[in-house]
Structure 1
Amino acid sequence: MRMADLKSVQLHWREDGSHDGHVVVFANSLGTDLRLWDKIIPLLPIDYRLIRFDLRGHGLSSCPSGPYSIDELVSDTEDLMDHLDVSSCVFVGLSIGGMIGQALAARRPDLIKSMVLSNTAAQMGDAKLWQDRVKAIGSSGIEGLSEQILDRWFGPDFRDHREVNAWRNMLTRTPVEGYVGCCLAIAEADLSLTTQTLRLPTLGIAGTMDGASPPDLVRDTINMIPNARFELIEGAGHLPCVEKPAQYADLLTEFLKETFR
């Protein structure tokens, strides 16, 4: 296991593929950790340097006191990439990871050559939605909301799969302070003004059954970026990299080849 001691947090990270290859950085969603990408990594060409990490308050990363802000999460990612001597990468962000990618591309264009915005948006829900979720967690914990969250994460064809129990465990074992901290970061974030200034190659991915970031929400954000491409994965929910890994990896591989040709 690898831990990066950064300015205000310790981040757990992992590297696969070729250390000398073009870099791809993956950022996971709220309530998951770097294992979100376990099915995707083996399906990608082995000559890329594939880096993934746990957000603050998630997985094995440290859990500073909240609330957090998108700016803090972006700074964590920026510091990690500087620490690992990464620049001109393809940034793949899902949900809050995609929000981090949008903000980081605007702040540090030298770090990101192109990006994949998966199941995300410039603004994901209004502040009240997230504040209500935080209150509910205060009453019943993450466990009390787990079934609702899993219904948004996965399409009906996958929902009864025994693997969902593992994702429930990952979700409910997320530190409450880390989960709530990231909820409040999303609540305050509206990246529309900066996202519409971006001019880098972008692939948007959505799932038709996504209850957290519906396809139209994702498409509206992708349309802010000139020449960005939007792809829809049928039957998938909020985590298409879990439900439809082969289709997801094919889209990603094609985009990587276009970026680095």
Structure 2
Amino acid sequence: MGRPTLAVWKFASCDGCQLTLLDCEDELLTLTGEIEVSHFLEASSAVGEGPYDVSLVEGSISTPADLDRIRHVRAVSRKLVTIGACATAGGIQALRDFADVEEFASVVYARPEYITALATSTPIAAHVPVDFELRGCPIDRGQLLEVLAAHLAGRRPDVPVHSVCFECKIRGNVCVMVARGTPCLGPITQAGCGAICPAYGRGCYGCFGPAPAWSEGRPNTRGLLPWLDMTDDEADRVLSTFNVAAFREEAPPGASGGSARGKRP
């Protein structure tokens, strides 16, 4: 019996999550001894035939052609793992979901009539069944290796679902929001980055997307907003980054109720 086969696919994205796999360096040598990389155009033009045991999918669905291609990827993949904010939440390009995509195209392109795009940028799970989602912008190298190792061992990946605040406590960070009044999305953001930004004195900006609350399975984004000391426009901007669609689903524009100064519970 041969080695399990791996395919890596790109949709609307910046390639950063695919590069995370290449950045595994020494671990990649061990990995390729256990898994046959059959399809990975970022690394090689050689393409092995499917079906593939595991497919890693980066990027969101943003064109009609993407819809057809992701159905093909699902059909030739025994397991499909989405990697990164684009694939799991629509990415920063999901800002189009709250605007007029035709207006965007008219400003960006000299001949917008040649551009074919969907009105929305949506995650892979909105179109086909997904076996596992790996968050981040970009994803964490250690978590990616854990997902692949879990597949080889026939178990579910051990990836945290708690908030960045847990990682701050583990690192011994002083809370930037409590001690310095710095706006921080750590309480509502899923762990995975190691609390890099708070460790260097700045607030978390939510690159791993919303963390599930223990009681409801979703973050209390509305509850956090009054503690950020921001106007509606400022709060909307903070939530409008890599996981804009996911965060705005929890707290749509204007949810902070105006300037939060003096309105904390």
TM-score range, shorter chain: 0.3 to 0.5
Highest relative contact order (Cα 8 Å, sep 6+), 1 or 2?
A: 1
| TM-score after normalising by structure 2 | 0.37
- Relative to its length, the structure with more strand (as a share) is 1
TM-score by length of 1: 0.38
